[in-house]
Amino acid sequence: MAQGSNFVDYVKICCRSGHGGAGSAHLHRDKHTAKGGPDGGDGGRGGHIILKGNSQLWTLLHLKYRKHIIAEQGGPGLAALQHGKNGEDEILEVPLGTIARNAETGEILFDITEDGEIKILTAGGRGGLGNWHFKSPTQQTPRFAQPGEPGKEEWMILELKILADVGLVGFPNAGKSTLLSVVSAAKPEIADYPFTTIVPNLGIVSYRDNKSFVMADIPGIIEGASEGKGLGYRFLRHIERNSVLLFMVPSDTNRTIAEEYQILLHELTAYNPELLDKPRLLAITKSDLLDEELQNEMEKELPKDIKHIFISSVAQKGISQLKDLVWQAINS
């Protein structure tokens, strides 16, 4: 199976939490007591549907074919003030960076960012109160109890935004996958034509003294991605979670490097202006094709407000200096 088909970053699921159990309206009776008082226990609560963060998961694939998630009902209250059994919770493990939203309103409910973090997605109904709660001086033997609260049924959307230290930003064929394959053990599909990467690839990049950082190769942005052209929106959301953005522009671009950088910047800004607050670096790729004179000429036209470096993944040119720049940016 291709790696692309294993990566799922969006699922829509129907969540049905458990109904709360009914309270008991029991009156105490035994061989010594003919007319005892109320002793009906409370009903158990219905099962919740819960999300739990798991740092070993990278995709929502395991939820893709589970359209209906159903939690257990709460048990009814019993005699002798016995509490009904709580319905069993349905716990869904999700990768870190998963956002939960209500499918009907679009409202973001929460996101999961830590391993072991637990959040209730759809709460179960509360159990009803038993009749002993309703005893009063004027009503010594209430013969009624509360019904349990119904559970909820609602459609939810789970979206994954990849958590990485560095996001690679560039048009298709800018050399992002090649860089990732050179600096990490990731094996993205690489070919010399646009749109090879159709899912984000993650790689762990080793750095000096046993340090490391996570780099995400995000599929190429095309002009108009912020307006939803192509697969644009789905990919742009992964950039929101990266702490440093590494812009990649090939030296053989048809435009000037400054023009291409500005177009990429415009797409990100149109999608989410807050992305401009992130540290940015510029790598001019495929620079093994340049001689020193040509590189010096290009230097003069580069944008002044961003640190830049000329690299070639194939020729291993500038790669260790790039790692240094990235590490400084992550930790600044």
| CATH number where 105 lies | 2.70.210.12
What CATH number corresponds to the domain at position 212? 3.40.50.300
Q: What is the reported pLDDT for 30?
A: 80
Written as one letter, the residue type at 290 is L
Asked if residue 286 and residue 258 are part of one domain, the reply reads yes
Stated as kind and residue range, the H or E segment containing 214 is strand 212-217
Asked if residue 133 and residue 6 are part of one domain, the reply reads yes
Whole-number Cα distances in Å, 101 to 29, 61, 89: 50, 18, 20
Q: What is the reported pLDDT for 207?
A: 86
Asked if residue 222 and residue 101 are part of one domain, the reply reads no
CB-neighbour burial class of residue 111 (10 A; exposed 0-12, middle 13-18, buried 19+): buried
Are 245 and 239 in contact by the 8 Å Cβ rule? The answer is: yes
Q: What is the reported pLDDT for 192?
A: 45
Edge-to-edge strands of the sheet including 49-53? Answer: 90-94, 49-53, 118-122
State the residue range of the domain holding 6.
Answer: 1-160
Q: What is the reported pLDDT for 331?
A: 86
Asked if residue 214 and residue 180 are part of one domain, the reply reads yes
Enumerate residue ranges in the chain where pLDDT < 70.
1-7, 185-200, 219-237
Answer yes or no: is 269 a known binding residue.
no
Number of structural domains the chain divides into: 2
Q: What is the reported pLDDT for 229?
A: 56
Final residue of a structural domain among 160, 184, 211: 160
Asked if residue 171 and residue 153 are part of one domain, the reply reads no
Answer yes or no: is 199 a known binding residue.
yes
Answer yes or no: is 181 a known binding residue.
no
Q: What is the reported pLDDT for 193?
A: 43
Answer yes or no: is 212 a known binding residue.
no
Which of 92, 102, 234, 54 is CA-nearest to residue 110?
102
Q: What is the reported pLDDT for 194?
A: 43
Q: What is the reported pLDDT for 226?
A: 54
Asked if residue 24 and residue 110 are part of one domain, the reply reads yes
pTM of the full structure: 0.68
Answer yes or no: is 220 a known binding residue.
yes
Q: What is the reported pLDDT for 296?
A: 86
Which of 65, 82, 102, 68 is CA-nearest to residue 21?
82
Answer yes or no: is 195 a known binding residue.
yes
Answer yes or no: is 198 a known binding residue.
yes
Final residue of a structural domain among 111, 145, 160: 160
Final residue of a structural domain among 104, 125, 160: 160
Q: What is the reported pLDDT for 190?
A: 47
